[in-house]
């Protein structure tokens, strides 16, 4: 029977991998995907607690988080496309100064 702390440990590991990904990767789309990984790790924590404490509020919050993540994905990718059009490169190091 998987215990609560198993799910929390998995969520911590996934979150850490996401943080490492955001720091290491240079491609801006890959960084965005690691941010989504972090959001999912937090979702797993919410659902695990909601299940073990028989409380529906965790799952409702996960619903809202997923919707917000979808909106953020749309706008974030729009920004990425615009940056790519102007700078012709998806490397974050090339976008580190404000001048085009």
Q: Which residues bind another protein (CB under 8 A)?
A: 1-10, 12-14, 16-18, 20-21, 24-27, 29-30, 32-34, 36-37, 40, 43-44, 47-48, 50-57, 59-60, 62-64, 66-75, 77-82, 84-86, 90, 100
Give the pair of three-digit tokens for residue 6.
Answer: 């198993």
Q: What is the largest CA-CA distance in the chain?
A: 56
Q: Of 75, 74, 6, 72, nearest to 44 (Cα)? A: 6
- Closest to another protein by CB, 64 vs 97, is 64
Calpha distance 7→61 (Å, rounded): 18
To another protein, the closest distance from the beta carbon of 55 in angstroms equals 7
């Amino acid at each position: 029977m998987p215990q609560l702390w198993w799910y929390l440990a998995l969520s911590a590991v996934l979150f850490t991998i996401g943080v490492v990904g955001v720091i290491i990767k240079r491609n801006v789309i890959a960084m965005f995907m690691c941010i989504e990984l972090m959001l999912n790790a937090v979702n797993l924590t919410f659902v695990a607690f909601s299940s073990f404490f028989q409380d529906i509020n965790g799952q409702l919050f996960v619903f809202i988080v997923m919707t917000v993540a979808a909106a953020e994905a749309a706008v974030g990718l729009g920004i990425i496309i615009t940056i790519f059009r102007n700078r012709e490169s998806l490397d974050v190091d090339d976008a580190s100064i404000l001048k085009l």
